[in-house]
Amino acid sequence: MKRILLLSVILLTFACSGDSLESIKYDVYKSVIDSNFGHLAEKYPSYIVVNDTLSDFKSDLGILIYSVQKNDKFFEECCEGDSSFKDFILGIKGINIKKELLKAEKIRPSSNFKVLPRSAVSQEEDHFSIYFSKIVFNKNYDKAILYVNKSSSGSLYFVEQINNKWYVKNKILMWII
C-alpha cells in the first residue's frame, strides 16, 4: 500500500510539473505579445497569427553568448545597463533542437487580439504574423530568453518572472527590413 501511495505521489508530481512548465511557456509568450502589440489592440483589433512549430535559434543564441563574452559593454549598450541575465547567458550550453508544436489557443493576451494558428487565417485577412522560438529558461525557471520573428524584424527577448507574472525586461533587435 505504501509503495502504491509513493508511486502515485511521484507520478502526480511529474504530471503537475509538466503541466506547470507548459503553462509557464504560454505565460512567457503572452508577456511578449502584451509588450509588443498591446498598445495596437485598441486601434487595430485584429489577429495575431503564430506559426504552429516553434523555431530553433541556436545561431542567434551563439551570437548572443559570443557578444557577452567579447564585449565588456554589451549590457550597457544593448540592455540599458541591466546585466541580470549575464550569468544565465554565459551558462547556456545548448538547447533542445527537436521539433516542438505551439498551441495558439493557449496564448491569451491581455489585449483585444485573438491569437490564431497560421492555418486558421487566410492571407487576405488583416493580421500580424509572429514566429516564436523555443524558450531557454534558467535553472530556477524565473528568467527566460526567446527569439521572436515579426513580419519585418527579429529580436531576442529577455523575460523575467516578478511576483508570479512574466515581464519583458529587455529586447535586442537582431535584424530589421
pLDDT tens, position by position, 125-169:
667 778 888 899 998 999 999 999 887 889 999 999 999 999 999
Backbone phi and psi for residue 18, each to the nearest 5 degrees, phi listed first: -65, -45
Tell me: the pLDDT tens digits for 92-122?
876 666 778 888 888 888 877 778 887 787 7
- In the chain, the percentage of residues whose pLDDT exceeds 90 is 37
- In-domain check, residue 53: yes
Q: Is residue 14 one of the residues assigned to a domain? A: no
pLDDT category of residue 1 using cuts at 50, 70 and 90: very low
Report the pLDDT value the prediction gives residue 13, as an integer from 0 to 100: 36
**Which three-class secondary structure state does DSSP give residue 175?**
strand
Closest CA to 64 of 82, 81, 80, 88: 88
pLDDT interval class at 37 (50, 70, 90): confident
Lowest mean pLDDT among 17-21, 88-92, 143-147: 17-21
At residue 28, does pLDDT exceed 90? yes
Is 152 inside a domain boundary?
A: yes
Residue 7 lies in a domain: no
Instruction: Give yes or no for residue 56 having a pLDDT over 50.
Output: yes
Q: Which amino acid is at 142?
A: D
DSSP 8-state class, residue 136:
E
Domain presence at residue 9: no
Is residue 120 a part of any domain in this protein?
yes
pLDDT value of residue 111: 75
Task: Count up the domains in the chain and report the number.
Answer: 1
Structural domain contains residue 13: no
Higher-pLDDT residue of 46 and 60 is 60
Residue 39 lies inside a defined structural domain of this protein: yes
Look up the domain containing 43 and give its range.
19-176
Q: What are phi and psi of 37, to 5 degrees?
A: -120, -10
How far apart are the C-alpha atoms of 100 and 117, rounded to whole Å? 14
pLDDT for 52 equals 79
Q: Where does the chain show beta strands of DSSP type E?
A: 47-50, 114-117, 127-132, 136-137, 143-150, 153-162, 165-176
- Tell me how many helices (H) and strands (E) the chain has: 4, 7
CA-to-CA separations, 92 to 96, 155, 156, in angstroms, rounded: 11, 18, 15
Q: pTM for this one?
A: 0.80
